[in-house]
Amino acid sequence: MLLDFSGRPILVIGDCMLDRYYFGSVSRISPEAPVPIVKVSETRDTLGGAGNVASNCAHLGAPVTLLGLLGNDDFGAVFKRLCARNNVDLVPMVSTGRTIAKTRVIGEHQQIVRIDFEEDAFPAREGASVLKKALRYLDKAGVVVLSDYGKGTCTAELCASIIRETRKRNVPVIVDPKGTAWDKYRGASIVTPNVKELGEIAGVPLGNDDVTIAETAAEIRTRFSLGALLVTRSEKGMTLVDKKSVQHYPTLAREVFDVSGAGDTVVATLAAGLASGYGLGDSVTLANRAAGIVVAKIGTVPVELAELRAAIDKNYNAKLLTPAELARKCAEARKSGRTIVFTNGCFDILHRGHVHLFREAKKLGAMLVVAINSDASIARIRRGGVPINPEGDRAHLIAAIDGVDYITLFDQVTPLSLIRRIKPDVIVKGGNYREQEVLGREHAGKTAIIPQLKGYSSGEIIRKIGGKA
Give me the helices (H) in 12-123, please.
Answer: 50-59, 74-85
CA atoms of 201 and 198, how far apart (whole Å): 5
- Say if CB 444 and CB 342 are below 8 A apart: yes
Helix (H, G, I), strand (E, B) or coil at 283: helix
φ, ψ dihedrals at 51, nearest 5°: -65, -35
Query: What is the C-alpha R_g of the chain?
Result: 25
Q: Which residues are bridge partners to 173 per DSSP?
A: 144
Beta strands 10-14 and 64-71 are parallel
Q: Which residues are bridge partners to 241 per DSSP?
A: 229, 246
Q: Where are the beta strands (DSSP E) in 329-420?
A: 340-345, 367-373, 406-410
Host H or E run for residue 99: none
CA atoms of 465 and 156, how far apart (whole Å): 39
Host H or E run for residue 452: none
CA atoms of 23 and 108, how far apart (whole Å): 8
Residues, the chain, total? 469
Amino acid occupying residue 332 = E
C-alpha distances (whole Å) from 362 to each of 247, 437, 448 are 12, 22, 12
Other CB atoms within 10 Å distance of the CB of residue 416: 13
φ, ψ dihedrals at 194, nearest 5°: -90, 180
CA atoms of 121 and 407, how far apart (whole Å): 53
Catalytic site positions? 264
Other CB atoms within 10 Å distance of the CB of residue 150: 12
Beta strands 100-107 and 89-95 are unpaired
- Please name which of 213, 205, 147 lies closest in space to residue 178, comparing C-alpha atoms: 147
Helix (H, G, I), strand (E, B) or coil at 274: helix
| Region class of 246: left (phi > 0), else alpha (psi between -120 and 50), else beta | beta
46-62: burial string, b at 16+ Cβ within 10 Å, e else? bbbbbbbbbbbbbbbbb
